[in-house]
Amino acid sequence: MILRLSRRTSITLTSLVLISGVAGSGIPAHALDPAPGVADLVHDIDEILSDSRLTMARSGVVVRSATTGEDLYTLDGGKLFAPASNTKLLTSSAAMETLGPDYRFGTQVLTKGKDIYLRGTGDPTMLAADYDALAAKIAASGVKVVTGQLVADDTWFDDVRLGTDWAWDDEPYYYSAQISALTASPDTDYDAGTVIVSVSPGAGPGKPAKVTTKPDTDYMKIVNKAVTGADTDVLVEREHGGNTVVVTGTVSKQYDEWVTVWDPTLYAASLFRKGLAAHGVRVIGPTVHGATPAGAKIVAEHESMPLSQLLTPFMKLSNNMHAEILTKAMGRKVSDAGTWAAGLDVTESFAKANGVQTLLLRDGSGLSRMDGLTPSSLASLLVSLRDKPWFTTWYDALPVAGEADRFVGGTLRSRMRGTPAAGNVHAKTGSLTGVTSLSGYVTSAEGEPLVFSILTNGYLSGAPRDLEDRIAVRLAQFTRTAPVDGAAPTLRAETAAQDDGLECSWRKPVQC
């Protein structure tokens, strides 16, 4: 008997019948005899993956029953792929296990001698208003003058600001901001280490544009070369190595750009110093980097929301800086070292204890193209996490297909609308140029919980996210016994013109 198996076809112990093996042939001593519904599923996913856009690309796909562990479909499940933001599945779950859902970042103001100290632990949710509130507490305590220095203490983390493998030309953009234990965000998306630069029409055609920042800060020097025009075509660029921002082009309506700051530690300190001045507290000395000495007295402090709440903006909007801050926070807790190396050791240990057999991690967010994960390992992790006491909180923080609310649908809010996957698929998206991924959970038409991981690398077209969506919709329609009725729903497709290789939430204003 000659047995022919598709390279895409799943071979699972639960759906095999024993036959005689062919010695030395490499053919297993089992042949696939799946239920009709499984055979239909394999056929349909094979057809989806036959798309011509994948001819030159590599795709890895695993679909697994979350209850039986059975692989319903697998294609190159054990091979390494660049996962992009699917890396955050590991980082976020490791953080929940290591730091705990109730973990909060703390920011303190201390005094000793003539100096005042601002000490942080990485809180990405600190706003200008929070630094102002700390300053108000100092003023309320009766302090009028600080005769010494304002010391910005970011020593909770190391001083390595950017990931080793991050692209240099991403550095001005908010999804690649510098990491510091003292930082600030301009909005409640909590885009740490950034300022919003707003460009608006001026007094009339050809007249200078109006440029403002949020928060209002003099930490950045604005060079405004933009003018009012009939169209909006604005370029906002921060010069490397400093905080000079050059604005050029024409503007007909308000345009906002999220711009990273150079040295977020001193930026945060500048917001605090401005707050002190506003509340009548004068600091005579300069602002400097430094460590808080032993015996310093705490005079004001602020705590962040718990990690269980931070998961929502982190995962829904695929916030890279949250992932890296949490990575260093885990390293600090476990090894007393707020470094990428220490934090990634924690994530790797957690991942391997929860089904991830093969991985390569260089950061917590997936910005590095050296990160490597396998679809099978991601599926194993997703199954394992269902037994965690914090699973429901973590699961609810994943983007939900077709849900219009940004803080529910997240990066999936515009995908799979009006399909059986809408409101059903909870999954993490991921994208870089030439990389797209989608891994998560879906409940079949018969109520069976499934996990899936779809990783695609090396395509030359626009991101084939519509193929991910078609697979997810097909899984929502899956039954083991009955064929799928009806034509496949029309899905929102990404085109080359739309695709710039970024998560939709990384294109500000949010375009998900």
Angle at 247 between CA 242 and CA 251, to 5 degrees: 160
d(CA 162, CA 145): 36
Which residue is catalytic, options 15, 92, 176, 318? 318
Give the tokens for residue 125.
């949710």
Distance (Å) of CA 288 to CA 152, 266, 295: 6, 8, 19
Q: Is 137 a catalytic residue?
A: no
Q: Is 318 a catalytic residue?
A: yes
Please name which of 289, 275, 282, 280 lies closest in space to residue 147, comparing C-alpha atoms. Answer: 282
Q: Is 25 a catalytic residue?
A: no
> Beta-strand (E) ranges in 178-263?
194-200, 210-214, 221-224, 227-228, 233-238, 244-251, 255-260
d(CA 193, CA 179): 7
Give the tokens for residue 139.
């003023």
Identify residue 382 by its one-letter amino acid code: L
Which residue is catalytic, options 10, 59, 85, 376? 85
d(CA 91, CA 85): 10
Please name which of 378, 370, 356 lies closest in space to residue 86, comparing C-alpha atoms. Answer: 378
Which residue is catalytic, options 15, 59, 88, 431? 88
Confirm if 449 and 461 have CB atoms less than 8 A apart. Answer: no
Confirm if 428 and 439 have CB atoms less than 8 A apart. Answer: yes
Active site residues: 85, 88, 318
